[in-house]
Amino acid sequence: MSSTSKKYHPQEAAEFVADNERAHWHDKALWFVRSKRDKAAAAVPEWEALRETASQIKAHMVAKHADFLEQFEEQATKLGAVVHWAKNPEEHNRIVLELLQKHEVKRIVKSKSMLTEECHLNPFLEKNGIEVVDTDLGERIVQLRNEPPSHIVLPAIHIKKGEVGELFHEYLGTEKGADDPDYLTEAARHHLREKFLAADAGITGVNFAIAETGGIVVCTNEGNADLGTSLAKLHIACMGIEKLIPRAQDLSVFTRLLARSATGQPITTYTSHFHGPREGGELHIIMLDNGRSVLRQSDDFRRSLSCIRCGACMNTCPVYRRSGGHSYNNTVPGPIGSILGPAMDAEKHSSLPFACSLCGSCSDVCPVKIDLHHQLLKWRGKIAERKLLPWTKRMSMKMASIVLRNTWLFTLMGGIARKVMPLMPRFLVYNRFNDWGKQRDLPAMPKQSFRQQLKKRNDSQKRDS
Amino acid sequence: MSMRVGLFIPCYVDQVYPDVGMATVEVLEQQGLEVDFPSAQTCCGQPMANTGCNDDAKPLAVKFMEVFKDYEYVVAPSGSCVAMVRHHYEEFLGGVPGFEELKSKTFELCEFLTDVLKIESLDLSFPHKVGLHQSCHGLRELRMGSASELMSETVNKPKQLLEMVSDLELVDLSRPDECCGFGGTFAVSEEAVSCMMGDDRIADHEESGTSVMTAADMSCLMHLQGLIDRQKKPIHVMHIAQILAGREVTK
């Protein structure tokens, strides 16, 4: 049921919008989260100062990235963790597999990690005979549906409770037709408890890695990261190399921003700190690059590395809310995903920077003040430079520019359009070639342009005086 | 002493919405200004720049500067075009002598009235329920108002002006600054989402009792009016300059 990769955003979005009732339900669900965020943010008097501080801490981290990476590796190693470096998803997945094979692991439990989604770790491990169970409830739901998450914080936000009921009836044996969230959650807890107990290893993501201490921090609402790493002896933590923060004291800035921005909670239910392996266990931290160091070199896109994956830009994005996460065909959807996607594969994701009305809401909601909509605009320029724009867009802009560079040509063309348009029969104006006119009327054409009207008025004023 | 203002009228407003231009002229003249419309002007280049076609946008930025560089002030009834000059011309004109000055003297109509002329009253009556659409570029690029995402002081320049008009009742919207979905070429390339966004804005205005919908950008209103006209909704659409010039309600 995974979405097809050949289609671009406008087609995927049109399909989502076609189910008007569902698209509105999706929009309202996410707007509710955005509204909760507004209330939570408003309750912190120094909210804007916190955002600014977070933005500067991350900018500092990115500026001295290599130093902080080295410091983190040194400190984490001192604590007894093993740090691995992966250039790309293939290397990342190979490291995970080797660790699992060395420990003869057959079953693993995984807490939420968008990075392992980015690496397509689940199918890779399954192909190698290892059972992977996502233990975040939302992620378990999409895993059972054989779908990718549609949101980085709320992976199953696109699925209605009735659909979860049907899914659980099929896989977990819940009563047919049952859609009570408490009942379904309880069933999932029992199901997952068995998986936790049977697992030989736990994989987690990482929200923050502290260079100063070598510790890692994982934020969850379900406590599944703790449970997954407490029962099995092997803990593998997978993170992008941008997840660093310099000092332990910086953490408070981010934990205050993260949950409020993500879901409107004051703090996530669990903020789990891992400083080295637990007694008798092993902690392996895999640090993935996968294009991040290329982004770091770019003046235009460097700030996207500040992202703490709160998902607020998705919740606020009027396009995301109405087109759904899967329409982006990228591990990370929404505004931030539309910057990161083209950085990985500009051709495949060439439509994403255009899946945006440039409203700027994302930049204002972002807890680390990433200039998201300006970066999306920058990407449009890069995509045009690389000749990845659709032919129609390229030609229409070229023609428009030629006309608009010459005032006489502009006024001539304008005049012709104003005369001809009203004479045209409706079917010539409104047809399948006119995307504007499918649902919208064109403005009524005035006889005179503004410049003609102004000249007429000024001439008559001159005559009168 | 009368101030000489160079008037920039967006290309499509010049051709399709002449009365918005005329209303802008009248509003400025009522404030005792000498308004000059340099006829060599065409377009700020935003459609091309927002589509990524920077090579096609640059000559228009150069032309804009050439046409307007000698005015004391440049005023346009469009937050979007002014945002283009102030925030996105850097790429085309950065370092060119006179560019910094051009940026600092180019204003959107409402902010020119509130921040430069500092007007405090208007001798006008408009006895209607008005729904103010906050056009995004005016709101978040020019900061003509405080975006709902930000937890900072609240200003709202278009609203400030509308509140000076007697008998005008501003309605409260449930989503006060959500995008209408125009977005330039977005309106065509993402037609489905664009129209859904527009329909949702219109529904919010309908539920809030808007009789006249207004905004500081005609592009948003062109998109919204296109939907309203097709669906034969009873909401009237007027640019804020038309209300400030004392126009009667038009359909």
The whole-number average pLDDT for the span A334-360 is 97
pLDDT at B1 over 60: no
Question: Could you tell me the maximum CA-CA distance found in chain A, to the nearest angstrom?
Answer: 99
Quickly list DSSP for A52-95: HHHHHHHHHHHHTHHHHHHHHHHHHHHTT-EEEEESSHHHHHHH
Cross-chain Cβ contact A361/B149 below 8 Å: yes
Q: What pLDDT does B20 receive?
A: 98
Question: Is the sign of the CA dihedral A406, A408, A409, A414 positive or negative?
Answer: positive
Tens of pLDDT along A242-269? 999 999 999 999 999 999 999 999 999 9
Tens of pLDDT along A147-172? 999 999 999 999 999 999 999 999 99
How close does chain A come to B225, measured CA to CA in Å? 8
Cα separation of A146 and B108, whole Å? Answer: 51
Decide: A224 and A135 in contact? Cβ < 8 Å: yes
pTM over 0.90: yes
Decide: B4 and B34 in contact? Cβ < 8 Å: yes
Helices of type H across B51-182: 54-68, 79-83, 90-93, 99-105, 109-111, 136, 157-162
Cross-chain Cβ contact A436/B51 below 8 Å: no
SS3 A247: coil
CB atoms near residue A66 (< 10 Å)? 10
- C-alpha distances out from residue A169 to A172, B139, B169, B192, Å: 6, 49, 54, 35
Q: What pLDDT does A264 receive?
A: 98
Quickly list DSSP for A280-313: T-EEEEEEE-TTHHHHHT-TTTGGGGG-----HH
Query: CB-based contact (8 Å) between B34 and chain A?
Result: no
Q: What pLDDT does A428 receive?
A: 86
For testing contact with chain A, the best of B43, B50, B51, B141 (most A CBs within 10 A):
B51
Name the nearest CA neighbour of B36 among B66, B68, B62. B68
pLDDT at B29 over 70: yes
Question: Could you tell me the maximum CA-CA distance found in chain B, to the nearest angstrom?
Answer: 52
What is the side-by-side strand order in the sheet with A270-274? A244-245, A208-210, A216-220, A270-274
pLDDT at A1 over 50: no
Decide: B165 and A286 in contact? Cβ < 8 Å: no
Q: What is the distance, to the nearest Å, from the Cα of residue B178 to the centroid of all Cα atoms in its chain?
A: 16
Q: Which residues pair with A204 in a beta bridge?
A: A237
Tens of pLDDT along A47-72? 999 999 999 999 999 999 999 999 99
The whole-number average pLDDT for the span A377-388 is 96
What are the tokens at B143?
């900061």
How close does chain A come to B124, measured CA to CA in Å? 23
Q: What is the distance, to the nearest Å, from the Cα of residue B232 to the centroid of all Cα atoms in its chain?
A: 25
**Cβ contacts of A454 on chain B, cutoff 8 Å:** 21-22, 25, 37
Decide: A356 and A380 in contact? Cβ < 8 Å: no
Cross-chain Cβ contact B14/A449 below 8 Å: yes
97-126 in B: which are within 8 Å (CB) of A?
A: none
ipTM score for this prediction: 0.97
The whole-number average pLDDT for the span B16-26 is 98
Quickly list DSSP for A154-208: STTTTS-HHHHHHHHHHHH-PPTT---HHHHHHHHHHHHHHHHHH-SEEEE--SE
pLDDT at A3 over 60: no
Cross-chain Cβ contact B192/A10 below 8 Å: yes
The whole-number average pLDDT for the span B170-178 is 97
What are the tokens at B121?
């009253």
pLDDT at B250 over 90: no
Span of A4-8, A297-301, B185-189 with lowest mean pLDDT:
A4-8
pLDDT at B2 over 80: no
Q: Where in chain A is the domain with CATH 3.40.50.10420?
A: 44-290
Cα separation of A232 and A201, whole Å? Answer: 5
Q: Which of B17, B48, B200 sits opposite A397 (nearest CB)?
A: B48
| Mean pLDDT estimate for chain B | 96
Name the nearest CA neighbour of A58 among A247, A203, A321. A247
What are the tokens at A345?
């594969």
The whole-number average pLDDT for the span A402-419 is 94
Cα separation of A324 and A23, whole Å? Answer: 8
CB atoms near residue A434 (< 10 Å)? 14
Contacts of A118 (CB under 8 A, 6+ apart): A89, A288, A290, A331, A332
pLDDT at A2 over 70: no
Quickly list DSSP for A393-435: HHHHHHHHHHHHHSHHHHHHHHHHHHHHGGGS-HHHHSSTT-S
CB atoms near residue A144 (< 10 Å)? 18
Decide: A223 and A270 in contact? Cβ < 8 Å: yes
Q: What pLDDT does B227 receive?
A: 98
How close does chain A come to B101, measured CA to CA in Å? 23
Q: What pLDDT does B251 receive?
A: 55
Cα B122–Cα B128–Cα B133 angle in degrees, nearest 5: 85
Q: What pLDDT does A433 receive?
A: 85
Tens of pLDDT along B147-169? 999 999 889 999 999 999 999 99
The whole-number average pLDDT for the span B236-243 is 98
The whole-number average pLDDT for the span A210-227 is 94
Cα separation of A136 and A223, whole Å? Answer: 9
Query: CB-based contact (8 Å) between B14 and chain A?
Result: yes
Q: What pLDDT does A6 receive?
A: 61
Query: CB-based contact (8 Å) between B184 and chain A?
Result: yes
Cα separation of B183 and B191, whole Å? Answer: 11
Cα separation of A247 and A234, whole Å? Answer: 27
Name the nearest CA neighbour of A199 among A230, A154, A164. A230
- C-alpha distances out from residue B11 to A72, A117, A453, B202, Å: 56, 46, 15, 26
How close does chain B come to A454, measured CA to CA in Å? 7
pLDDT band at A464 (very low <50, low <70, confident <90, very high): confident
SS3 B169: strand
Decide: A292 and A61 in contact? Cβ < 8 Å: no
Per cent of chain B over pLDDT 70 is 99
pLDDT at A193 over 90: yes
The whole-number average pLDDT for the span B116-139 is 97
Cα separation of A257 and A399, whole Å? Answer: 47
Quickly list DSSP for B98-122: THHHHHHHEEEHHHIIIIIS-----
Q: Which of A322, A442, A453 sits opposite B197 (nearest CB)?
A: A322
What is the side-by-side strand order in the sheet with B236-239? B169-170, B129-132, B212-215, B236-239
The whole-number average pLDDT for the span B22-40 is 97
Cα separation of B151 and A211, whole Å? Answer: 31
Cα separation of A379 and A374, whole Å? Answer: 9
Q: What is the CATH number of domain A44-290?
A: 3.40.50.10420
The whole-number average pLDDT for the span B1-6 is 80
Q: What is the DSSP letter of A3?
A: P
Name the nearest CA neighbour of B130 among B78, B200, B204, B205. B205
Q: What is the DSSP letter of B142?
A: S
